[in-house]
Structure 1
Amino acid sequence: MDEQFEMMSNNPDVIIATPGRLLHLIVEMNLDLKSVQYVVFDEADRLFEMGFETALTEIIHRLPPTRQTLLFSATLPKSLVEFAKAGLQTPKLVRLDAEGKISTDLKMSFFSVKQPEKDACLLFLLRDVIGVPMGTNQLEGVPEGTGKKKALSQYAAPHQTLIFVATKHHVEYLTVLLTTAGYFVSQIYGTLDQTARSIQMDRFRRGITNILVVTDVAARGIDIPVLENVVNYDFPTGARVFIHRVGRTARAGRTGWAWSLLTTPELPYLLDLQLFLGRPLKHRVSLEDARAWSDSLILGPFPRDVIDQELESVKSMDVEDSSIQSLREVMRKGHGMYERSKGKASQASYKRAKEMSKDPASHGLVSTSTPTHPVLVYKSANGISQAKATEDQAEEEKRATLLRVINSFTPAETVFEVAHKAHKGKGTETTAALMKERRKALKKAVDRVALASASKEEPEEDEEEPTSRVVAMAEEDDIAEVFDAPSSGDKKGNHDYRDSEYYMSYVQKDADTEKGYSLRDGASFVEQARNATFDLTGDEALLDQRKRKQMAWDRKKKKFVHGDGVGADNVKLVKTESGVKLPATYRSGRFEEWRLKNKKSLPRVGETENSRTGQIGKRYLHKNVSEPKQLDKAHANYDRKSRQRKKKEAEASGMAEGDNSAQQLRKGSKKAVLGKRYGGKTVGRVKTELKTVDQIRKARKVAEHRKTKNARPSRKSKGKGRR
């Protein structure tokens, strides 16, 4: 914090900080923020969701009411619409591209895969669909002195791919797998060091690596000039996360593709995304319609024969690199914890996904009879004619139809009956007779089900009158308008007697939309109960007693502690003027020690700023340099002072030639400047903590003298002994 104390003491014009550290500096340094004119909250929705509301409230309370507050957010949930949290006055809303939630130039494709085949599908997608080349993408003709911006604009590869995964264990596993396959890969995740993260990002942006494997930490605030492909290896749990992921491509007028691998348990999240975007879900599309990839969600599987070949190549990689198996096992355990902690989809989506799983071929889910994804034919049709591509698509549909017929084939005779015909009189009569009896029983059951279904349809046919007169039936809206009767529900006769004027549903009308905007599971009961507060005056004492009795887990102490656990280590809280409770350690006096040690002060509001802002003591700056007067040769100390002066001149000449402080110390200099560590003081003025041999020997003698003195008898006891 000493470096930040010095930065704030220099009266900066712009401060870029996180809410927690900025509030700590404000309280510790007792900063006066009356001169602040603008406050900007970047990713404002995320700040409120991450729990920075307490720090933001206290910071805003210390700002002047005349400042201008700006909130920037990619999405607009209801929590951000309530501008009272930010203390805004007369707010104005500016929306860019309010009609569409994602870019119209973005093309999307969703592949239905099985969980064990994800790696094989990813390798096929990268090599044959996207066309990522093996090895590095860096050109040999790039000059060494090329600037960063020029290199990015000219030499960045257009087929660079960004792969989003669930956890950092997925990142490490896919990095090793793709590197073994022959790709140059970069990786970024949350716990990666900032220096390593910058190096990995710079390698990807310059085109040295073609693939960047990241977690959701890179879903925001990342700018890559040329990026056309985003792959969702693990499908996101919320529509908002999906928008941030695919928003990395199709920017600034460019087109882009978003590829998503979808397993059966992740199908409800795709249905939630469909409701959020308002686009149809299809598994068949015409190749002539170029806007179909942007206006609809197209779902389909990979070709079965290609995936089988890729599975064999993945097995060969396990033999080539033994660490892949161990990393895969770690990834599976991490994925299990991720599955238990992620949010849930809506109940309607789970119900619909269950119905779609019963008939996978008609909904584009992975099965033996499902036709291949149309995008594979579309991508391969770039070098051939449109008629040829349409013909290939027709052949693929015929193949799928043939497979469907083969799968639904049921033989007329079983193995036992065929064996009876082939080997008569060899002990097969009993099994053949048993199968005949079984077939008769099953036939009766089938006839019984058909008869029951026919009996349900007969009353509807009997209700029709045999007359030729056609009677026009009144509609439900006309009946309700004339008789003021509640409208009927469905065709089965289930009426809805709810009065819309007095009925209040327990589910919010736009709950699904708001859940899509939220990064967390905002539609769950826990989140809604936490946000819905109803405090009464008489209940505050009871709530305080409950908080004192309850136990909370302390991460630093690794045990349960009393209280609500507010703060990093359950520290004591102090209530400020705005009513916000802050840790008492924010005001520790550390800044006062630093200020007195470095002799600096904070500039006051309205004070004229100059080049010497923050210094204490020196009121005048003397710029005149005068030569030292000559030494008196008749003086007794002439020889000693002349030697000292020559020594200083030698040191000054050595420092001018570039000698560092360590070399000056070896030559015996006691006044070499050591830089910012000692606040600009010389070595001679810094008090050393090392003791010499004489000092240690003297301290021991003093200690022994004190021991012997304390062991002597007192004067009173000596007098009594003499008597």
Structure 2
Amino acid sequence: MGGNSSDSDNDNIDISSLLVPTAKSSQKKNKSSKEKSSEKTVEINPEETATKSKPGNKTKSNFELLGLSQNLAKATYHRGYRQPTPVQRKTIPVIVSKRDVVAMARTGSGKTASYMLPILHRLYAHKQQIGIRCVIIVPNRELAIQVYNEAIYFIKGSNSNLRVGLIVGGDSLESQFNLLVTQNPDIVIATPGRLLHVSVEMKLSFNLLEVLCFDEADRLFEMGFGVQLTELLNIFPKARQTLLFSATMPESLVGFINLGLSDPFFVRLDTELKLSENLSMSFFNIQENNRDASLMFLLDKIGAKKQTIIFCSTKYTVEYLHLLVTKFGYKAAYIYGSLDQTARQIQMNLFRKNLVSLLIVTDLAARGIDIPILDYVINYNFIDNTKIFVHRVGRVARAGRSGWAYSLLTPDELPYLIDLKLFLGRELVYGKGKDVDYRKTLVMGNLSNEMIHNQVSSISAYFSVDSALENCRTASNNSMIKYRKSRIVPSASSYKEAKLLVSSKATLEPNPLFSSTLNSSQLTMINSISGYKPNQTIFEQGLRGNKLISDPARLSIVQFRLKNSGYIKETKNKQRVNEKISEIQPEKSFVDDEYYIPHRKPDADTEKGYALLKGNTFAEQAQNAMVSLTNDDNFNRPINKKVLRWDSKKKNFVQGLGIGSDNKKLITTESGVKLPATYKTDAFKDYLKKTKLPNVQVGQVELPGMSDNFENKKRVKNFHTKISARKELDSKHINYEKSLKKRKFESGDNGKQKSDKIPKIINGKLNVGKSKDGKMLKSELLTAEKIRKNRSIQESKFRRSNNVKSKPRK
């Protein structure tokens, strides 16, 4: 991991130093031509190069210089990639050299192609040997589908015959069994839970695995996939290449120590520029009861034709907003975690095909999903984690496009904005002036009631006539109460700064983005009202005449002022002096740029934001309080079996882990990891019995036409007369004893069965026996002549009974 400090310099990268050995050998053969071509590798069409260039002096494209094959270079050109991005220039040559890589780069920088292209280059072509050769693990289904489509595009573009499979939750297990048994995929893209379920059901072996890739690696740990990852890593072979990619990766790799990394190459780009340089951001200070009206105001300013994603914190809020925006005439789709997989795909396709303009989602869609034409992101609920903010706003301003990110904040969410300011290292500007840079600073301002009064009245009218909308809002508010209790606690310094920010009334300044909607007289009136301080206390309000003299509350206030008049004057004089001093001579910093040693690292706030565990929740603090010297090979394995725990039934502390107390059955794998019993249900055995397919083993040679085995069995000659052995009786069946006695009687085990009644099989056909008289039994099969005779007899009977004369024959 050490020795890569120079990798942060993205502008001064010499591509010739990243060439693979094959490129270096060609360089020795033709030095003069290579020196010329290395200066001209800027934007070259591989197809034009193959036709126009001479064989001896062929100019390679940029992606070929990174070590990729010519076919893959053509696929990248048709995909629209002309220049490799910084993360691609850094990682592709290292991955091609079969070294472990841990890479971090901002959203929209081409990380998917950074690992997909060298994986396809390494696997090259489909093997007839049965077994998975590459596994790509992603945190959610939408990202898995996107990576799958990207892999399919590159495979078809490079004329490769590699096979890709998708294993995600929500799809049927039988279809995924069929994929692994009949298709023999080389690359499997999966979510960890379903991949472990399928591997346990099938007793799947990964002996041929060459590459293991984790996309959005830090999210896999944060989402609670510790048990699944532990078992999967025990199943995967140790001799493999491991790749980790994410947009937010901590500098310390302690959290990934159990992934089996071997001398990884650490790439950490754009640490200063965490967001896209084409992203503009604006923050709006609002009141909680005006959150819905503020959202509708922003949507009205954006317009109905712009593609917009709205991020919420709970699925109940998603359902409520979907119903609300529909009332206002917007077409919207929605996605949340517990939504059915088919419904999620339908909703995402509606938004991708521009059939709807709004997509309302939870943080499920914040990771890795690339939507081609996306203009705006709105944070309806603000984040409690700076990494989530980076992934949310990273959905826009991707691949050189520009975009906007709007965020709604209430006063209790201001500390999280201060944490974000420290993490991004940007200045927080309060709505002063119009010449503000929305791309380099955090611009914050107020949305006044005058701006949103139309939306407030419209929403009130909808609530008065629609009870379903009111019920959805109640459910959303109740879910937000629980969500706020589970939020990460911001730092104490952020609380203090946010408190000073509220007391200074800087948040009351209107946001300069929409301040033009108010005229100067309205702004003057708002500022005068906000800065008004009455000279009387609440006890003196409304007192007139004799009450002004005789009221006891007013007299007590007067006595207090007379008693403390000196202290009040002294305090006011100090405030005036301090104001004059601050205006005349600003406070100087005591920090010496050359000799001062700070008490904390310069990038401490950034690393705190990137950390996998924040340490602010009770579970994390309890985990950190435990000390273990033995169980260091699993992520979430219980530390001590004798630890005391609270038993809600016995109302007392008891020893043990409580396994089984919740009536959930568990199974123990070979590596000792406990999994739910639902992971092993014999579904694969039932699938093999149903389809009559063979249970192929890893390492065997793929049978030609393996997927047609079931059809071939039905095409066998004399299939309906084929005699096969009887099935074994099920001992758990209700008629087991009766069927067993019947079978024993037919087989003659009890001596009562006569041997001449046993059916005999001669030449694969059932031989009929003889009757009691010794005569041959008549065959029940009718000939064509016999069938015609029976029909004529039935017709004549019908005519006699109905007195119908027969037609004369011609």
TM-score (norm 1): 0.63
Shift of 1:115: 0.6
The aligned runs of 1:126-525 (5 Å cut-off) are: 126-127=299-300, 129-132=301-304, 157=305, 159-289=306-436, 292-360=437-505, 363-364=506-507, 370-377=508-515, 398-404=524-530, 407-408=532-533, 410=535, 419-420=544-545, 430-431=549-550, 439=558, 441-451=560-570, 512-518=605-611, 521-524=614-617
Counterpart of 1:295 in 2: which secondary structure?
coil
Aligned position for 2:642? 546
Counterpart of 1:40 in 2: which secondary structure?
strand
* 1:23/1:55 contact within 8 Å kept: yes
Shift in CA distance, 333/123, structure 1 to aligned 2, threshold 3 Å: same
- Please tell me whether residue 71 in structure 1 is matched to residue 71 in structure 2: no
- Please tell me whether residue 86 in structure 1 is matched to residue 259 in structure 2: yes
Shift in CA distance, 476/101, structure 1 to aligned 2, threshold 3 Å: closer
Cα shift readout 1:613-651 (whole Å, capped 9, x = no counterpart): 599999xx99x99xx9xxxxxxxxxxxxxxxxxxx9xxx
Match for residue 534 of structure 1 among 586, 609, 627? 627
> 2: CA distance between counterparts of 1:267 and 1:46?
25
> 2: CA distance between counterparts of 1:190 and 1:86?
26
Shift in CA distance, 416/229, structure 1 to aligned 2, threshold 3 Å: closer
> 1: CA distance between counterparts of 2:331 and 2:446?
27
Aligned residue type for 1:40: C
Shift in CA distance, 684/203, structure 1 to aligned 2, threshold 3 Å: farther
> 2: CA distance between counterparts of 1:123 and 1:529?
43
Counterpart of 1:374 in 2: which secondary structure?
coil
Shift in CA distance, 528/31, structure 1 to aligned 2, threshold 3 Å: same
TM-score (norm 2): 0.57
Match for residue 17 of structure 1 among 190, 202, 222? 190
* 2:278/2:403 contact within 8 Å kept: yes
* 1:230/1:259 contact within 8 Å kept: yes
Shift in CA distance, 518/189, structure 1 to aligned 2, threshold 3 Å: farther
Shift in CA distance, 78/523, structure 1 to aligned 2, threshold 3 Å: farther
Aligned position for 1:718? none
* 2:691/2:710 contact within 8 Å kept: no
> 1: CA distance between counterparts of 2:538 and 2:379?
48
Shift of 1:45: 1.2
Counterpart of 2:396 in 1: which secondary structure?
coil
Shift of 1:582: 5.4
Counterpart of 2:294 in 1: which secondary structure?
helix
Aligned residue type for 2:446: P
> 2: CA distance between counterparts of 1:40 and 1:102?
24
Shift of 1:520: 6.3
Shift in CA distance, 286/330, structure 1 to aligned 2, threshold 3 Å: same
* 1:603/1:614 contact within 8 Å kept: no
Counterpart of 2:277 in 1: which secondary structure?
coil
Match for residue 665 of structure 2 among 563, 571, 582? 571
Counterpart of 1:117 in 2: which secondary structure?
helix
* 1:107/1:256 contact within 8 Å kept: yes
Shift in CA distance, 261/573, structure 1 to aligned 2, threshold 3 Å: same
> 2: CA distance between counterparts of 1:456 and 1:94?
53
> 1: CA distance between counterparts of 2:269 and 2:229?
26
Aligned position for 1:51? 224
Shift of 1:279: 0.9
Counterpart of 2:244 in 1: which secondary structure?
strand
> 2: CA distance between counterparts of 1:455 and 1:608?
90
Match for residue 121 of structure 1 among 261, 275, 294? 294
Shift of 1:322: 2.7
Aligned position for 1:651? none
Cα shift readout 1:4-60 (whole Å, capped 9, x = no counterpart): 444333332122233344344444544442222111112211222233334334433
User: Could you tell which deviates more after superposition, 94-103 or 518-527?
Assistant: 518-527
Match for residue 108 of structure 1 among 252, 274, 281? 281
Shift of 1:418: 9.0
Q: Quote the sequence identity (%).
A: 38
* 2:375/2:403 contact within 8 Å kept: yes
Aligned residue type for 1:321: D
Equivalences, count: 541
> 1: CA distance between counterparts of 2:568 and 2:686?
90
> 2: CA distance between counterparts of 1:394 and 1:192?
49
Match for residue 609 of structure 1 among 691, 697, 702? 702
> 1: CA distance between counterparts of 2:575 and 2:474?
54
Aligned residue type for 1:297: L
Shift of 1:535: 2.5
Shift of 1:375: 0.8
* 1:175/1:187 contact within 8 Å kept: yes
| Structure 1 vs Structure 2 CA RMSD | 4.9
> 2: CA distance between counterparts of 1:404 and 1:456?
21
Cα shift readout 1:281-334 (whole Å, capped 9, x = no counterpart): 111344345xx1111111111133233333222111112423222222222111
Counterpart of 2:261 in 1: which secondary structure?
coil
Aligned position for 1:660? none
> 2: CA distance between counterparts of 1:415 and 1:34?
85
Shift in CA distance, 235/520, structure 1 to aligned 2, threshold 3 Å: farther
Unaligned runs of 5+ in 1: 133-156, 365-369, 381-391, 421-426, 459-474, 482-486, 488-498, 555-559, 629-647, 649-669, 672-680, 690-694, 703-723
> 2: CA distance between counterparts of 1:177 and 1:342?
26
Aligned residue type for 2:180: M
Shift of 1:442: 1.9
